[in-house]
Amino acid sequence: MVIGTTGFSVLDLKRIETLANNNQVGIVYAPNITLGVNVLMILTKLASILLNNYDFQISEIHHRNKKDSPSGTAVKIAKEIESGLLYAGKDIPEAGISINSVRAGGVVGKHEVLIAGEDDRITISHESFSRKVFASGAIHAIKFIQNKAGFYEMRDVLDLSKVIEDLYINKNEHNSENLKDIVAVDKVNLH
């Protein structure tokens, strides 16, 4: 099962995880199923660990009819930043990570993370031009969860721990064979 909706409380997600584990059912949960925005989350968390003395600001824009504000994706990005800061031994700002939300026009979705230091700035951004990216992410999640039991997130679908292990522990910098099942977006035909 793949769940790509938002609005779940922490308790709701714990219940879903318990159901998956107790019933030996495979569930992938993601407030945003696109591969690109999940890479943004990984990069942002990494930045919050390595640049933990910088300020973080999230901006998101969606179509005028989107009900939740901030988006579930923006909330998840903020949680990833907070998790990285805690990992680095830093305190979370009392007000949390700032999120600016805009609802206008027919924008499918754009998320941007500003990472600002005293002397430089990094911006990590993802914009969906088409809803096809949601379908592509869902297909990857479905392929991943097939014949598995337990509760997973998109970081599991992207196999982040394997990528890190190959690149930094095993130093397999030129072994793209390991990625053939992970990053195959261009092989998914949605037409």
Catalytic residue ranges? 62, 66
DSSP string, 37-75: HHHHHHHHHHHHHHTTTSEEEEEEEE-TT---SS-HHHH
Q: 60: which 2 tokens?
A: 């998101």
Query: Whose CA is closest to 56, among 4, 105, 17, 96?
Result: 96
**Burial classification of residue 18, based on how many CB atoms lie within 10 Å of its CB (0-12 exposed, 13-18 middle, 19 or more buried):** exposed
